[in-house]
Amino acid sequence: MKRKREKPLFKRRTSAAFEIVASLKSLPEIRRAILAQAKSLGIDGRRIYRVILAVEEACSNVIRHAYDRRTTNPLNVMIETTSNRVHVLIRDVGRPFDFNEYPSRDMVQRSLRARARGGYGIHLIKSLMDRCEYVRSDTGENNLSLVKYFGKPVKAAQGRRDRA
Amino acid sequence: MDFKVDSKPADWDSEMTIVRLCGSVDAQTAPAFEKEAMGLIEKGRRKLLIDCEKLDFISSAGIGVFMVLLSEVEGDGSLKAMNLSEEVYESFDLLGVPEIMEIYKSEKEARKASV
């Protein structure tokens, strides 16, 4: 009788959760944490670069807009990486921001002057990640969940509406 | 890698200035890049070629600086870039930058195109 090949009980997985100072100076620390996890699982640099860029944009938005650069508020980042997926959860208690309602910009159609004013962060996050979900909790937390798959591509930015 | 920016005149075009970016250009470091490049423009150096060979990361804040510089030199100057890694090029591409700015694979290519 042919013996059925057993599936491994556990996928290779690493995770980390940390609270960082909500300052632009913390951005390299976030980049290093994601890169270190990916390297430990053999995920190549180009694939993880997209995740790093999306998370950077999200954290930068929290620091500059949700917190107006006040560094006393908490910014929590949870990263869970398996060999075929990275899931990042970013949590803050700043001003609500409805990520889902923010329109994707048609960059090519924008004038040079309009482009110089910026506002590309959300567009990049939605373009780079497979799943984006924003939830404003009843207790006043912004929760942004970002997922990137490395196996079969699943390209759909999804999201639930603000529950606040 | 720590962020550094410096500049030097191109040895093949006396009006062209090469601005070399090194490390990461993010929301924290983008103002230093903008200050260096705007300083050159204010001194009349309005033809800039940004060398990204040692640029290992750029966020939208850094790409925004390219947009500001493009609008500054529009008309009587130029802003071009060269030596972008695949990752950095992809970020530019997602924002439609190659549609409005000349990007070269190498300095040799940039030099050839300017003749």
Mean pLDDT of A49-76: 93
Beta bridge partners of B17: B9, B48
Single pTM value for the model = 0.87
Ranges of each domain in chain B: 4-114
What residue type is assigned to position A143 of the chain? N
Looking at every residue in chain A, the average pLDDT score rounds to: 82
Q: pLDDT tens digits, residue range A21-55?
A: 999 999 999 999 899 888 888 888 888 999 999 99
Answer whether residue A73 shows pLDDT above 60: yes
Closest-CA distance of chain A to residue B104, Å: 20
Is the CATH number of domain B4-114 3.40.50.850? no
Q: Chain B residues with CB inside 8 Å of A63's CB?
A: 27
Say what the pLDDT of residue A107 is: 61
Q: Could A116 and B87 be called an inter-chain contact, meaning their C-beta atoms sit closer than 8 Å?
A: no
pLDDT tens digits, A112-137: 777 766 778 998 999 999 999 999 99
pLDDT over 60 at A153, yes or no: no
Question: Which helix H or strand E contains B9, and what residues bound it?
Answer: strand B4-10
Q: How far away is chain A from the Cα of B80, in angstroms, using its nearest Cα?
A: 15
* Closest CA of chain A from B25, distance in Å: 10
User: HSE-up of B11 (CA within 13 Å, CB side)?
Assistant: 2
The whole-number pLDDT of residue A28 equals 94
ipTM: 0.92
Q: CB–CB of B64 and A123 under 8 A?
A: no
Taking CB atoms and an 8 Å limit, are A116 and B86 in contact across chains?
no
With tokens 């959300």, the residue in question is A122
